[in-house]
Each structure stands twice: as structure tokens, then as C-alpha cells.
Amino acid sequence: MARDLGPGASARRGRLRVYLGSAPGVGKTYRMLDEARRRQERGADVVVGWIECHGRKHTAAMLDGLEIVPALHRIYRETEFREMDLDAVLARRPSVALVDELPHTNIPGGRNAKRWQDIEELLAAGVDVITTVNIQHLESLNDVVQKITGIPQRETVPDEVVRRADQIELVDMAPQALRRRMAHGNVYKAEKVDAALTNYFRVGNLTALRELALLWVAGRVDEGLREYRSTHRIDRVWETSERVVVALTGGPEGETLIRRAARIADRTIGGQGDNRLLAVHVTRSDGLAGASPAALATQRQLVETLGGSYHVVVGDDIPSALLAFARANDATQLVLGTSRRGRVNRFLTGPGIGETTVDQSEDIDVHMVTHEFTGRGRLPSLGRRHSRRRTVAGFGSGLLLPFALTALLSQLHHTVNLTTDALLFQLGVVAVALLGGAVSALVAALVASLLLNYYFIPPVHTFTIGETNNWIALLVFAAVALTVSTVVDRAGRQTSRAARATAEAETLSTLAGSVLRARESSSGGSGSAIPTLLEHSRTTFGLDSVALLSRATGEVIARSDGSGEQAAERDTTEVPVGSDALLILAGRRLPADEQRVLTAFAAHVAAALERDRLAAVAAEVEPIKAADRMRTALLAAVSHDLRTPLAAALASVGSLRSPDVEFSPEDQAELLATADESLVKLNRLVDNLLDMSRLQAGALTLNLAAVHLEEVLPRALDSLPDPQVPVQPLDLDHVPAVLADPPLLERVLANVITNALRHNAPGAPVLVTASAHQDQVQIRIADRGPGIPPADRDRVFLPFQRLGDTDNTSGVGLGLALSRGLAEAMGGTLEVEDTPGGGTTMLLTLPVAEEGTL
């Protein structure tokens, strides 16, 4: 499956092709080498900048005939590593360079921290690059993959780097086929196969990773399709996937419509993906009958619970706004509720929103859903601004209704008098005013006055009025008609303004809710709300793209579905955002009334920018505050814990040196043992404090090397106060060597084992086991103690924390905090798990040392 983004790169910039896989071993590197050989056969100048065959003979065989740029050998912490020689590849200037493992982290000290940054330099130099990456290394999916596999990925690449690729090709393989390939020894060495199949490469893990890869690539394909349609101005819906839009008015029928639309989306092909259900509410100048902010908020929650998304758009012509939104999102089906208007209402106001939408829908299927509120609406508001159809109907009624009344009253002239005739004409004028507004009512009043004079005021059939009383009656009739028309028109204008203000307030309320949800969904509520604001403004105003630019540099700070460069090709609106930024909205020219709401959006964006700036300042200050807290806690803790062993040692030595007392050999030995134990404890405490200080200051020096656990564990046990501790190592000799600093790893194991012994059940041994998983080794230290509640598992790694489970004479609480810090400094992790059957297991994860590491 491939996605070609078209000729987006210029002639001076290389093109990037990415082979994306769901898991190691699916064949990304093999496919990359196959593509390289194909291009070489066509005459392209191809070199291998960096390749990782992982001992796979079929992959290595594909290198025959390809030029390989020699690797760069670098020394880091007295250990030699191999890296891609970026300068050599740039000097060679091939037309195509193969660079394997896109998310790789380079050895510190080089020009770039990550390999994808090396690739950016090659692309900028005009070199086409082919690379590989697995789905678990994408930054946005890192936490999802960790939940699936239980293994955190230390090396990640920003999604945008892969998304900008000119071509992305998915290398797919069924989980069962990948497991067979691994069982045959085509992925890992034989000693690693069993552990891999029972851990990372379980069928469930591989199936979930495969689904993530397929969905991610499908999303990029969808982006490319939308970009193509926008570039070529294709407005017709392409039914490449099913999307269902449900229109919400805020009325009581909303929940019924949402559930029906969700069922339709679930039954359609591809209906289980993202963005398959979209709910939209249209706000307009005259409002929507029965719209309730509380009801809309409830309906929004229901939509999001069902996996859909909620949108608000502004538009005076509701059917056109609904269809424009549906086409913009490539929707294939639109769900509407049947009208809540009664028969009289429909007769007076003409076709409703549903009927008009069906007439204009063209290639979008429209579902009219019945509900219990059908036909139970109210009569039309007296003050609504009238549509063009109603205005035309009003003029027609103003001309025809007086003639119809004249014909009727002419048949009844023997039974009704002039007063009745005038009142009936007056009623007709009021009806025309309700239907078509003031101008239509004036037309009706004029025609009615002439007909009343000609046919019913003596002398009849002439426009002459013989009696003064009839003159007065006719003038009163005209005055009342004019007054009613004016009142109706003024009420309509005031109601229209009020409804417009209500619609704007509703839009701003939805905006505020979106901002709050964006902050709450971010880690700790501290994430930036700017992307949410831009996306909300784009969908609300029906725009193609929204970009936030810096006034000083012109750089794009953030954007939604477009950029400032694209915006220059379409109608744009510029709105200042404070004094430092500019909001560029592209797609259509916004009228003045919508720009009032847009000003509020800009104010929120300015506030979000300021909030991000303050958050950055606060983040810079936080390390200083943390250091101050550390110093305060350190001074409070060491005042007792340094004094206790020091006082015991001084007392023992002082007693031995005292000439006043003569001690027996047994007493002398006991005093010397007390002094020795106290000094060992004091030395360990000082070492911990010094190492914690180095960790906090970032000044800890590491000497990473290949370390075998069966060698370092005995030394860690020997360093404990009681060398005869009940520790039982299991299965340590079959795991590969880890990349670690030997003395520091010894310290970590000693501290964790000491902690386990302190809390272990009497007589129960502490178990130490190890297993290999892909490129990591997991070491488990399990005790049978009371365990640690889940809420406290992060707190046990804070310095000077005992959580009340020991007395204050057992140390300053640095052991686990220092152990985690040392583990992370060596590229590993230290986490807490439950021991099956009760107790606590400390899980220490370290990277596997590469072959040849000393």
C-alpha cells in the first residue's frame, strides 16, 4: 500500500521514500534494497549510507552489487560505535541514498542528535533518500504501543517527518506469517526466538500493531486525497469511504438522530474508523427553532462517546451550509430529522430545511428520520427575517388576497356591512404582514384600500367617496395597516439582532468548551490550546485552512489543514493576534458580522499564546525550584541520618581509646564491629548523596560496557551489610550482556535488593530473574512483602520518601530514587509491578549490548 504525495518537492530538494512496517521482521529493509537494485538497473546512482541486516542472510544477499559508504567509527565513553558517515555521503553526492532505521539516535557529540536530521541534510542537498521505520517508533503512537506491548520505545521520530515524505509504502505481513518467519530463524537468532514469540511477538500484539499501521497509512492516504481534490477544485463527493453527517438543531430529537446515524455508520463498509460519524450544528442570524445550549452540550457528549466528532458552522442558508460541510468532509450520507413544524406552520412558511436539503443534495444520500416530536413544533416567530421565497410569496399574497376577499364579500354584501368589510380586509393585511413583512403589508394595504373604496364605499364602482364618515373610516383603515406593518417589521429586526447575538454567544460558548477540553486532555491540563482553536475556527466558519503566523519572522506557528503559503492562492482574511502574531484564514471572504465572532477567536488565540509563553517560562524556573526543594529536603534529612552512624562510630572508637576502662577481647571486637558497620553505613549514605547530586546536576560520568548479570550480581550481594542474605538468582546465565556501567549497575542492584529485603516476609527469599525481549533485558527483583498501592508507585522513587512503611532510622529514602536515576542514565528504566501471590517486583530494564561491545 503506497501513498504518493505528488511532485511536492522542488528540483533542489531530494525526495523521501519511507517503508513503514508494523513490527520488526516484516521485510522493510529487504524491500528497500529491492527498490535500490531496481533503480540501479535503470541507471540511477545508488549508494548505501547505512544498513542494518541484523544477521539475516537473505537481506545481506541483497547488498551484492551496491556501493556501501564506509561507516564512521566513534568512541563514546571508552566504547567504539559505528555510525553513518554523513559527510562522506554528502561528498559522494549520489542520486539515491539508502539510510536504514529512521528513528535511530546518534552517538552524542555529533552534528545531529537523530538520524532523521541527517536525512534532512541529505534531502536539502538534493539527494533522494529511501529509509525504513516501524509504527511503534512514531511519536504520536508511542504511548499506545507501550500499552499494547508493555515495552516503552526510547527511540521515536516525529510524525511530521514521516508525513512529509513524498511516498510512504506499507510493508504488511499477517501475524501468523511473521511468527512462522521468526520460528524459521529468519528474524532473530535461535536463542532469542522463544522469548520473542512469548512476549513482544504474540499474535494479539502483532494484530494490534498491524491495525495501527494500516489506520495510520489510511489516514495519510485520506489527507493526500483531500489535498488533491482541493488543488483541482473537485467539489463532488468521492465515495472512497463512508462518512455519515448528522444535523443537530438542539431540539429534543437530537439523541434519536445521533444514535440512528451511529448505527448507519457502524453498518457501512469502513465504518469503524476515525471520522466516520460527524455531528454538525448550524448557527445562523435568525437562530434555529428550539436550539438549547444545554441540549447541544449533552448531544455533543453523546457523539463523542459513540466515537464521533462534533462541529459548529455559521451559515444563514442552513441547507447550503449542511451540504457544504458534508462535501468538505467527503461525507456520503446525511441524517436529518423530520420537521417538528405542524401543518399550519408548513403551509405558512413553505418547504422546510429537510425538503430543501434533499432537493440540493445531488450525490449525497439524505436520510429523513422520524421521531416522536414530528409535527409538534410551534408557529413561526413573528419577528423572523424573511427568506426570498417568503418575500415573493408575501408580495403575491398582498396583490391576490385583497381581490379574493373582494370576490367573497361581493357575494355577501346583503349580510355584512362596511365595518365588517373593513375589518376583514384589515385581517388580510395582518396575515400578509406575518407572511412577507412590512413591504408586502404596505402593498396589501394599498390594494385593499382601493378595492374597499371602489366596491364597498358608496357610491360604489367609483373612486369617489360621498360621505365624510367613509373618508374617516378609509383613513383609519390605512393608518392601522401602516402601523401594523411597521410594528411587524421593527419586531423582526429586533428579533433578528437578538437571535444573531444568541448564535454568536452559542458559538463562543462552544469555543470556550473546546479550549477547556483541549487543556484537560493534555498532560496535567498544561497542553497548548492553539491547535484546537485553529481547528475550531476552520470548521466553524467553513474555511479551507487557518494559519497562525509570527509577525517578526513570518514563520507558521501552528496551522489547521493548510498553511500560509496555500492561503495566498485563495480569498483570505487577516486578523491581528496581539502584537506578535497574525491569523490567516483562507477559503472565503468573511462578512463583517462573522468577523465580530472572529475577533473573539483571535483574542482566545492571543491568550493561548501568552499562556504558552508563561508555561515555557515556568518550565525554565521549575528545575531551579526543584533544586531548592532538593536542598531543603537534603538538609532536613541528613541532620539525623549522618549524625546517627557518625555518633555510633565515634562512641565505639572513643570507648576503645579510653584509658579508664579495660575491655575484654569480646567487647573490643563488638565495639570495632559497631564502628565498622556505622562507617560502612555512613560511607554508603555519602556515596548516595554525592551520586544523587551528580544526577541532579547532570554531571554523572558513565563508562558503558557489556556487562553479564551472573558477574555483577555476586559483587552487588557482597556489598550488602549481611552477605548471607536470602537472595535466590534464577536463569541469569542465558540472557545476553547488557549495556551498562558495571559499578553503577552493581549499586542499582544492591539498593533494590536492600529495599526488597527490608520489606520481605520473614524467611522468604528475594527472587532475582532475568529475560531478554527484543533489544532489552528485563531484570526482576521480587519480594513477598506487603506490596505497594498503585497510587504510591511513583512516589517511592522520589528522594526522601519512605511512605510511612519504615521507621526514620532506616535511611534518608534515597535508594530507589538513586536507582531509578542511575538506570535512566544508562538508558534503562526502573518500574514497580505486583508479585504474583503478593509482594512487590522491581522491574529493571536495560538495553542489550551490541556484539563487539567491550
pLDDT tens for each residue of 295-349: 788 888 888 888 788 888 877 778 888 888 888 777 888 898 887 665 555 555 5
Cβ burial of 439 (10 Å; 0-12, 13-18, 19+) is middle
Mean pLDDT across the chain, nearest whole number? 76
Cβ neighbours of residue 545 closer than 8 Å, sequence gap 6 or more: 538, 559, 560, 561, 562, 563, 566, 567, 585, 586, 587
Cβ burial of 617 (10 Å; 0-12, 13-18, 19+) is exposed
And the C-alpha cell for 848?
542489550
pLDDT digits (tens, 9 = 90+) for 590-636: 666 666 667 767 777 787 788 878 877 877 777 677 666 655 655 55
Rounded Cα–Cα distance for residues 212 and 217 (Å): 9
Alpha-carbon torsion, ordered 19, 20, 22, 26, to 10 deg? 0
pLDDT digits (tens, 9 = 90+) for 228-260: 666 666 656 555 567 889 998 877 788 888 988
pLDDT digits (tens, 9 = 90+) for 497-517: 666 666 666 666 666 665 555
And the C-alpha cell for 527?
497542553
And the C-alpha cell for 552?
517578526
Q: Which of 421-425, 669-673, 693-697 has the lowest mean pLDDT?
A: 693-697
Average pLDDT score over residue span 392-412: 83
pLDDT digits (tens, 9 = 90+) for 717-758: 877 766 556 787 876 777 888 999 888 888 888 888 888 888
The per-residue pLDDT for 119 is 93
Nearest to 312 by CA among 563, 528, 560, 509: 509
Is residue 172 within 8 A of residue 210, CB to CB? The reply is yes
Q: Please determine, for residue 290, whether its predicted confidence score (pLDDT) is greater than 50.
A: no
Q: How confident is the model at residue 288 (pLDDT cuts 50, 70, 90)?
A: very low
CB atoms inside a 10 Å sphere around CB 580: 14
* 242 to 51, 248, 264, 334, 771: CA distances (angstroms): 41, 20, 10, 11, 46
Rounded Cα–Cα distance for residues 155 and 191 (Å): 25
Q: Which of 451-460, 665-674, 808-817 has the lowest mean pLDDT?
A: 808-817
Q: Please determine, for residue 492, whether its predicted confidence score (pLDDT) is greater than 70.
A: no
Measured in degrees and rounded to the nearest 5, phi and psi for residue 240 equal: -75, -25
Q: How confident is the model at residue 38 (pLDDT cuts 50, 70, 90)?
A: very high
The per-residue pLDDT for 602 is 77
DSSP 681: H
The per-residue pLDDT for 341 is 63
Q: Which residue has the higher pLDDT, 546 or 289?
A: 546
